[in-house]
Amino acid sequence: MQKFKNKTIWITGASSGIGEACAYRFAKDGANLILTALEKDILEKVQEKCISSGANCFVLDYDLSDLDGIPELCKKAVDKFGKIDVLFNNAGISQRGLVAETKFEVDKKIMTINYFAPVLITKHVLKSMLENGGGTIAVTTSIAGRFGFPLRSSYSASKHALYGYFESLHAEYHKENIRVCFICPGRVKTNISFYALKQDGNQHSQMDKGQAKGISAEKAAKKIYNAVYKQKTEILVGSSELLMVYLKRFFPKLSRKIVRNIKAT
């Protein structure tokens, strides 16, 4: 069954990891795909695979740290297929740096890409969704959006902020058939730790040991595909590390102690 046949899906952060794997999964359904990331050449390779799987696929490369051009980016995305049924705000950048040593410019860049960019994209796409009778907005958060984590202060803050903003949006527009699905990954084997920003703004340039042991992006994509189709409120994606979400909820003091002693890289 092709659950997303002829549905238009816009995925940010589609050049690798979860976004890329989800693009291939939706492509099998014959969806109309719009793929956004910074690297045009890599996106075009993903595009080729999606088209070979039966999708209509369009590339919109863009640097999401540049907020000024996002309104025009959204116009191009909506105009390409006339509407967007699913907006998947997946793009993001992580962090590896102590609070006192991290430059404010790094904090600002992380918040811009992880929070302000998806907020601005959503504001523009939401108008189109409302005109077309509704839609689904999927948002990649993180278990670091459920509790603070060493070396991830601004990353964690940006993911916490996504919950507040999009839960509010859901409450405001539920009657207009707008649904919000939070995708909350733990450890998924992607390059997010490699591209994470250090305190000086340079790349971390290595994969964390915990990340390397995470579930595959393909396994994550399968869960996300089903969650978006069923319009689930939230799904946790990962393995044993997800237990920390429940520890924080029911045993907050214990969870703080555990987090303090986690080797964060």
pLDDT in tens, 73-96: 999 999 999 999 999 999 999 999
Q: What is the CATH number of the domain that holds 69?
A: 3.40.50.720
Q: At what angle do helices 17-27 and 217-229 cross, to 10 degrees?
A: 60
Q: What is the mean pLDDT of residues 55-78?
A: 98
Domain assignment of residue 15, yes or no: yes
Domain assignment of residue 3, yes or no: no
Q: Give the rounded percent of residues in the chain with a pLDDT score beyond 90.
A: 92
Q: Which domain holds residue 99?
A: 8-260
Into how many domains does the chain fold? 1
Count of CB atoms within 10 A of residue 224's CB?
Answer: 27
Q: Give the rounded percent of residues in the chain with a pLDDT score beyond 70.
A: 99
CA distance 96 to 224: 26
- Residue 38's pLDDT is 96
CA dihedral 242, 246, 248, 250 (to 10 degrees): -170
* φ/ψ of residue 221, rounded to 5: -60, -35
- Residue 264's pLDDT is 65
Domain assignment of residue 207, yes or no: yes
Is 155 a residue of the active site? yes
- Residue 112's pLDDT is 98
- Residue 265's pLDDT is 64
Domain assignment of residue 173, yes or no: yes
The rounded mean pLDDT for the chain is 96
Residue 175 banded pLDDT, cuts 50, 70, 90? very high
Domain assignment of residue 1, yes or no: no
Domain assignment of residue 265, yes or no: no
Q: Give the closest residue to 195 by CA, choosing from 208, 204, 182, 187.
A: 204
- Residue 212's pLDDT is 87
- Residue 107's pLDDT is 98
* φ/ψ of residue 134, rounded to 5: 130, -175
Residue with tokens 């595009």: 47
Domain assignment of residue 165, yes or no: yes
Residue 110 banded pLDDT, cuts 50, 70, 90? very high
- Residue 210's pLDDT is 83
Count of CB atoms within 10 A of residue 194's CB?
Answer: 15
Catalytic position from the list 24, 62, 115, 155 = 155
Domain assignment of residue 2, yes or no: no
